[in-house]
Chains A and B, each alone.
Chain A
């Protein structure tokens, strides 16, 4: 019975939301007076999309307007980001970007039609996703130290998988390789699914990937994890050491999702949105869902627009030397 009620209530919610979208323009008041479009530069159901949906669902309640998610896929998310950069800066078109679209894209795409710093107003950091160093289950090295020596000694032989140029797995592995000062063969796959398939099947040796996809595979023993590239261990994988503990403190990488508005959006609107986003991140259900994904929830200090601006700046500085020679 409860499930029927749940269905009924959700159906009502959908109906109300669509009604809101329709009726809202009638009453002109303070921002927001109509529904907001949130561009997600990746496919529905992907990590960025999931984070955006969880957070915006709560923000919509705070703002009293529906937030419509529009997934625009293409060119590592840069197609959608270009569109968001050119959208009207009235606060009704926003984008949930990530490490790739708002930092790594700068060195990766020389002809990028936008600049993450110059064309966007940062709103808030939404979530961080730790990155792991993973390997096929019968890959000889037992821990990270052995891995480093093995990969350095066999740099000509090993194969690193990644989910396509510009993907988190690609750029983070490039960082690892630049720290180890090696250039192994990178085998590109079309997305994390096929890359993980190849790793499970033992067709490639190792890859760096976000925690979400990897946890069940690690727990089932189909692949193994050497380390997590964050300062602290993650509750979903308590047995996996951090890179600092395992002896490679320089390798620190985290995928992050953040909300941006086109440049020139008024400070008042940015403040309203930031407050709503921050409130969402404090909500227990939102927190629980994000934690289930293995995400790290930013502290209040990290959530301010200024902190996000600094993060973007630092990230661009971090990735540019790593990715420049690669292209």
Chain B
């Protein structure tokens, strides 16, 4: 794709990409932080947000660098999982983000695809880092995940490289409405099926999902949703014999 906007456009584009990759590099930490907020309200049994923030910040800023330099000195201290996450996952992605600033991206579709896939592979390597490796001739639990993780890092680097060397399509357009409401319907279904039963859940999820399209006509959707709910309520528990709650728990008792 010919860049008629000149040099400055590429730079802004690359800066945005680099910032995106930096965010990606600390995505697991942010995810844990969001997750940990729940513990304030007593949901779940994880660590509190304050502990999460401090442990990850120390790991990113102090633990990991010292581990990098420590390893030259031959130190083989057991590293905490936060430090490992920083070392295996975040740092390589920071490096990629910095490199991105100096690259001409010829196919954003391939380049971003490769880098995100690499992030997934690195994350898997971290997730499998606690597993035992080879023991003599016998594979340990961690051997195969590490093998495939390493291979995926290499392959995704190759894809990213293709994005730098060959011209290809730019980033595709993402819409937000469809994904948001379809996901909302799915999550609502998952949370509500046990307490609210099939009838309420199926109908409500249907309506939430229907919101995801601009073409939806409400009356029509409500009628079809009601018919579908009725059909499901007969089909699944009775014809197929699936043990499934039908009505809200509080109504039964």
On whether A and B touch (CB less than 8 Å), the answer reads: yes
Chain A contact residues, CB within 8 Å of chain B: 18, 25, 37, 68, 70, 185
Give the nearest-CB partner of B138 in chain A.
A185
A143 to B201, CA, bound (A): 62
A37 to B194, CA, bound (A): 15
Contact status B243-A25, CB under 8 Å: no
Contact status B252-A25, CB under 8 Å: yes
A-B pairs with the 6 shortest C-beta distances? Answer: A68-B243, A70-B243, A25-B252, A18-B238, A37-B243, A185-B138
Chain B interface size band reads under 10
Instruction: Give the interface centre of B138, B238, B243, B252 by most chain A CB atoms within 10 Å.
Output: B243
One digit per residue, 1 when the CB lies within 8 angstroms of any chain A CB and 0 when it does not, for chain B 201-243 equals 0000000000000000000000000000000000000100001
Instruction: Give the chain A neighbours of B243 by CB distance below 8 A.
Output: 37, 68, 70
Instruction: Give the chain B neighbours of A25 by CB distance below 8 A.
Output: 252
Instruction: Give the chain A neighbours of B238 by CB distance below 8 A.
Output: 18
A25 to B246, CA, bound (A): 14
A25 to B138, CA, bound (A): 56
Query: Shortest beta-carbon distance, A309 to chain B, in Å?
Result: 29
Instruction: Give the chain B neighbours of A70 by CB distance below 8 A.
Output: 243
Query: Shortest beta-carbon distance, A171 to chain B, in Å?
Result: 19
Give the nearest-CB partner of A34 in chain B.
B252
A-B contacts, 6 listed (Cβ < 8 Å): A18-B238, A25-B252, A37-B243, A68-B243, A70-B243, A185-B138
A18 to B237, CA, bound (A): 10
Instruction: Give the chain B neighbours of A18 by CB distance below 8 A.
Output: 238
A185 to B252, CA, bound (A): 55
State the main secondary structure of chain A at its contact with B.
Answer: strand
Query: Shortest beta-carbon distance, A155 to chain B, in Å?
Result: 15
A131 to B243, CA, bound (A): 34
A18 to B238, CA, bound (A): 8
Query: Shortest beta-carbon distance, B179 to chain A, in Å?
Result: 30
Query: Shortest beta-carbon distance, B168 to chain A, in Å?
Result: 42
Query: Shortest beta-carbon distance, A286 to chain B, in Å?
Result: 23
A97 to B243, CA, bound (A): 20
A164 to B238, CA, bound (A): 36
A37 to B244, CA, bound (A): 11
A70 to B245, CA, bound (A): 13
A158 to B238, CA, bound (A): 52
Query: Shortest beta-carbon distance, B53 to chain A, in Å?
Result: 26
Query: Shortest beta-carbon distance, B243 to chain A, in Å?
Result: 5
A185 to B137, CA, bound (A): 11
Give the nearest-CB partner of A15 in chain B.
B238
Instruction: Give the chain A neighbours of B138 by CB distance below 8 A.
Output: 185
A68 to B244, CA, bound (A): 11
Instruction: Give the chain B neighbours of A68 by CB distance below 8 A.
Output: 243
A315 to B208, CA, bound (A): 52
Query: Shortest beta-carbon distance, B142 to chain A, in Å?
Result: 15
Query: Shortest beta-carbon distance, A148 to chain B, in Å?
Result: 25
Give the nearest-CB partner of A69 in chain B.
B243
A304 to B138, CA, bound (A): 45
A163 to B252, CA, bound (A): 43
Within 8 A of A (CB), among B50-97: none
A185 to B243, CA, bound (A): 42
A37 to B245, CA, bound (A): 12
Query: Shortest beta-carbon distance, A170 to chain B, in Å?
Result: 15
Query: Shortest beta-carbon distance, B76 to chain A, in Å?
Result: 24
A70 to B243, CA, bound (A): 8
Instruction: Give the chain B neighbours of A185 by CB distance below 8 A.
Output: 138
A25 to B243, CA, bound (A): 16
Give the nearest-CB partner of B238 in chain A.
A18
A267 to B94, CA, bound (A): 61
Query: Shortest beta-carbon distance, B137 to chain A, in Å?
Result: 9
Instruction: Give the chain A neighbours of B252 by CB distance below 8 A.
Output: 25
A70 to B138, CA, bound (A): 37
One digit per residue, 1 when the CB lies within 8 angstroms of any chain A CB and 0 when it does not, for chain B 182-207 equals 00000000000000000000000000
A37 to B243, CA, bound (A): 9
Query: Shortest beta-carbon distance, B181 to chain A, in Å?
Result: 31
Query: Shortest beta-carbon distance, B245 to chain A, in Å?
Result: 11
A25 to B238, CA, bound (A): 18
Query: Shortest beta-carbon distance, B138 to chain A, in Å?
Result: 8
Query: Shortest beta-carbon distance, B199 to chain A, in Å?
Result: 14
Query: Shortest beta-carbon distance, B69 to chain A, in Å?
Result: 34
Give the nearest-CB partner of A185 in chain B.
B138
Query: Shortest beta-carbon distance, A120 to chain B, in Å?
Result: 22
Within 8 A of A (CB), among B133-188: 138
A25 to B253, CA, bound (A): 9
A37 to B252, CA, bound (A): 16
A185 to B136, CA, bound (A): 12
A68 to B241, CA, bound (A): 10
